[in-house]
Amino acid sequence: MRQLVDWCASGRQHPTTADIREAFLDPADTDARPSQPEVPMAVVTEQGAEGEETYAWNIVVRPRDIERWRGIAAETVMKLGGDLDAVILTRLGVSELLANVCKHVGGTCRLSVSRVGDRAVIRVFDRSPVLPAVRVPNWNEESGRGLWLLREMCPLFGWETVAPHLGAKCVWFACWLTKESQR
């Protein structure tokens, strides 16, 4: 993380993939590595509405792989022009959404990262018809804070039912790519 703070102080416009990897992915952390040998990822670049660029992955999520996927999503947001705030929010949101897939759905989902105008939109499609319930957390419990925290940090947050070929529902959040785009 210290490397990323140094990057911010340097005045560079966007961090490189190496900057983010160095700051957020510890190569000695075996939990951040996929448990299976690396397989070439099928990245689907989708043509969306005008001004929308989308990258998507059909994945099987295991708790030990969440770090990998949040790193990939963060790199994608950077590629789309996202600043440090967008990258941090993406990492938090992807962690929470994928953890919920692991806990409540059973692991398979579609993760997509899109640029829509000046915003990054992150979506997770899964096969469960049960919609999330965001409540004020019970502070004495060990879980139940993730979606509430994401909603508090990112007011552009929601879910919807989707066409059967996409799953059953999509949980999504959106954030400004840069502080300047908020103005």
Phi, psi of 101 (to 5 degrees): -60, -45
What is the C-alpha to C-alpha distance for residues 138 and 102, in angstroms, rounded to an integer? 21
- Structural domains of the chain, ranges and CATH numbers in brackets: 42-182 (3.30.565.10)
Question: What distance lies between CA 106 and its chain's CA centroid?
Answer: 18
pLDDT in tens for each of the 183 residues of the chain? 444 445 445 555 444 545 544 554 444 444 443 343 333 344 555 555 556 789 999 999 899 999 999 999 999 999 999 999 999 999 999 999 999 999 888 878 999 999 999 999 999 999 999 988 888 878 777 777 888 888 888 879 999 999 888 889 999 999 999 988 776
Q: Which amino acid is at 150?
A: L
pLDDT given at position 87: 96
What number of CA atoms fall less than 13 Å from residue 64's CA on the CB side? Answer: 7
Helices 17-24 and 66-79 meet at what angle, rounded to 10? 150
